[in-house]
Structure 1
């Protein structure tokens, strides 16, 4: 059972959007380059001192906290023969024992003084390729479904790098983040799968809109 497993914060990072140079001389403004911190206060809109560059695709109440499994780092580093920096994917929390296949949309976790709930798998963009200088990393993240995931904040509070991270409540539907990712990216006509994900009331509004439209078009 997950609540018997030692979940741990490996890296805790926040940061406001800043200019990032990529491909030698190109520059873009992005929130993906975050800095390690020891403590930050988590509000319903995210950590104080944290921000996103693209408000259309990132941020908001349903996407206040970004989490990425630490186990994937060694996988990508080995596959691409590279070394990745901390918070390489722009995540706030790099964690152990919380893989996409093992956590569910709607699961609730204690995070220091705060309480968070998983709302959706992350939809990555090519800023990840630019940040890591690995041009096919995004493609592999989508293929595997190892995207990390996003959370809403149910209770605000202070979070420290050594804060306790533990499962409070596993969602009764047990729709894993990995299942949602596979459906979203690779099974656009899976009507039963779409209904299964939509049945989770705690699903992020953006995903609900997209999947509802997808279901509507399939039903025509």
Structure 2
């Protein structure tokens, strides 16, 4: 049965990117107790409510780009961590990719945008929202050459989740998919559309469950180029 292997919370550390955000929460470590999950408020963006994460005890520090309703929880599959560990020749513990939930038994890239999961018998209701797009903080944290490109080319991004109903999560909780939307846009297709396969972008435009920031990217990249202004008529006076 699909389940949560570990619940991971941030250990704040200095941010190496030099972006102006002095602290990062990408270093996430498993905890051995139940964690409360609740909607974190709007965001990301200036003035968005703290703490950004949907997990009590977790933190999101770069609120300009991360956290908020559409990025409340990040899940990554243990199966994909194991694949990367073999490829990179290093151990990758639960939480190594900055994920809040390390899962087992789910193909996260095949999850539909907007499908809903019940975690535990009476735990929170979560909704698949968008793929994770790799950033400089992630690359510096992994300390692997060409990491953003490698992660992008492999197209195994994991998924962000919204919190629809609050509850508690503990390692070992089962994950039940309780509903799926009528469309067929998956996390994997959405990721490829936003990164390497622009021909997929039109599929994003009418998916209401997709975050507005992703649909705005799709609108801008698929908008027709403006027609050139006509050249002025030659001046024949004189």
How far residue 206 of structure 1 moved from its aligned partner, in angstroms, is 1.5
Alignment of 1:1-220 (within 5 A): 6-15=1-10, 17-19=12-14, 29-37=23-31, 38-45=33-40, 46-112=54-120, 113-188=123-198, 190=199, 193-217=200-224
Other-structure match for 2:231 = none
Q: CA, structure 1 residues 29+217, in 2 after alignment: closer, same or farther (shift >3 Å)?
A: farther
Please tell me whether the aligned partners of residues 15 and 137 of structure 2 are also in contact (alpha carbons under 8 angstroms): no
Q: CA, structure 1 residues 103+219, in 2 after alignment: closer, same or farther (shift >3 Å)?
A: farther
Distance 2:177 2:26 in 1: 27
Distance 1:95 1:139 in 2: 24
Identify unmatched segments of 5+ residues in structure 2. 41-53, 228-238
Q: CA, structure 1 residues 143+156, in 2 after alignment: closer, same or farther (shift >3 Å)?
A: same
Q: CA, structure 1 residues 207+218, in 2 after alignment: closer, same or farther (shift >3 Å)?
A: farther
Identify unmatched segments of 5+ residues in structure 1. 1-5, 23-27
Choose between structure 1 and 2: higher strand proportion. 1
Distance 1:19 1:123 in 2: 21
Please tell me whether the aligned partners of residues 78 and 94 of structure 2 are also in contact (alpha carbons under 8 angstroms): no
Offset from partner CA, 1:122-148 (integer Å, 9 cap, x none): 111132232222223322111111111
Displaced runs of 4 or more, over 6 A = none
Distance 1:72 1:219 in 2: 43
Offset from partner CA, 1:58-99 (integer Å, 9 cap, x none): 101011000111111121111111112321111000112222
**TM-score after normalising by structure 1:** 0.86
Distance 2:108 2:172 in 1: 22
Q: RMSD across aligned C-alpha pairs, in angstroms?
A: 2.1
Alignment length (residue pairs) = 208
Q: Which has the larger radius of gyration?
A: 2
